[in-house]
Amino acid sequence: MARPARPVPRADGRAGTGFLRPAALVGIACRSAHSTLQSREPVFEIGNSLREARLRQQLEFPELEQQTKIRSKYLQALEDEKFDLLPAPTYVKGFLRNYADALGLEGQLYVDEYNSRFVTGEEDIPLRPRDYQRRPQALGPRFEARSVVLVLGAIGVVVALVVGAAKFGSNDSPKVQGINSTGPKLPKRHHKPARPMARLVLTATNGDSWLLVRAGSQAGKQLYAGTLPQGHQLPFTRGTFLSRRLWFAANKPQNLVAKLNGRIVVIPGAATGKAEQLLVTPRSIVKAPPPS
């Protein structure tokens, strides 16, 4: 004879029924999920990463305020991770994305890190075993017998359907040309992903600037040479002007605003007011290395 299951002791010292109730299982799952969330460590420090990127490019808050249209005190609060000084979490996410993009970083990564560490939305609803506690503790033998009959009936219907499908859908059925036969298999076309391009738009906002733009590198094909007047734009976004990399020299980079693939990017060294040689990639603008 099989040995009866040992009763599980309850918190009050009395013997249980041998099974944990659903409410207890849900409670265990909630405690496990809560401990897992508490043990999560941040991927990187948001404020220090922003500050290091700004100092590395020798940028000041007034210049970045003009580029991002975000007040300097809010930029300082982002670097200090004092998010409570900002109007609302929605503003925090927008400011984080714009500030990181302006520094040549991935703005969405900073928003994701902020969400994982500071945001607790309606999605994080804790599990509550209320529905289980409202159910009757004992349904009675009549209900159990009826459930068994229903389950057996459902199994019988499924078996009958499977047998009928096997009988009437066998391989002995006649094949009609053009209906049962399959056509020739066409080779699959593998489309290579499009290579990212550096779509650059330069705008002379603060004054004129002389420009020399080449495709690829300093030795590449010349795309433009001349003075860009104040208030005019120079797009390199289509046709022969579109390239994966661009090299350009500007005698007054402080007068220019660069837009790369739809987002404003800070021009390195623009604050110094000196002529610069720059290299443009699909992701950022950096100072061009000296010619070898």
Domain containing 236 equals 200-287
Phi-psi group of 227: left, alpha or beta (phi > 0 → left; psi -120 to 50 → alpha; rest → beta): beta
Answer whether residue 259 is part of any domain: yes
The pLDDT assigned to 123 comes to: 40
Which tokens is 275 given?
């002529």
Assigned domain for 84 exists: yes
From 118, 138, 155, give the residue that closes a domain. Answer: 118
Q: Which neighbouring-strand residues pair with 280?
A: 246, 285
Number of domains present in the structure of the chain? 2
Q: In angstroms, how far is CA 137 from the centroid of its own chain?
A: 45
Last residue of a domain, one of 96, 118, 140: 118
Amino acid (1-letter code) at residue 265: V
pLDDT tens track for 250-287 = 999 999 999 999 999 999 988 888 899 999 999 999 98
Q: Is residue 85 part of a domain?
A: yes
Q: What is the pLDDT of residue 98?
A: 92
HSE, side-chain direction, 13 A CA sphere, residue 209: 30
Domain with residue 61: its CATH number is: 1.10.260.40
Asked if residue 167 belongs to a domain, the reply is no
Whole-number average pLDDT of the chain: 77
The pLDDT-based confidence of 37 (bands split at 50, 70, 90) is very low
Q: How many residues does the chain have?
A: 292
Q: Does residue 267 contact residue 260 with C-beta atoms inside 8 Å?
A: no
Q: pLDDT tens, 71-86? A: 999 999 999 998 888 8
Whether residue 86 lies inside any domain: the answer is yes
Task: Note whether 286 and 253 are within 8 A (CB).
Answer: no
Domain limit, last residue, from 68, 86, 118: 118
75 in any annotated domain: yes
Question: Does residue 128 lie within any of the structural domains?
Answer: no
In a domain, residue 59? The reply is: yes
Instruction: Tell me the one-letter amino acid at 186.
Output: L
Q: Could you tell me if 288 and 277 are in contact, meaning their C-beta atoms sit under 8 angstroms apart?
A: yes
Tell me, yes or no, if the pTM score tops 0.85: no
Tens-place pLDDT, residues 187-206: 677 667 778 998 999 999 98
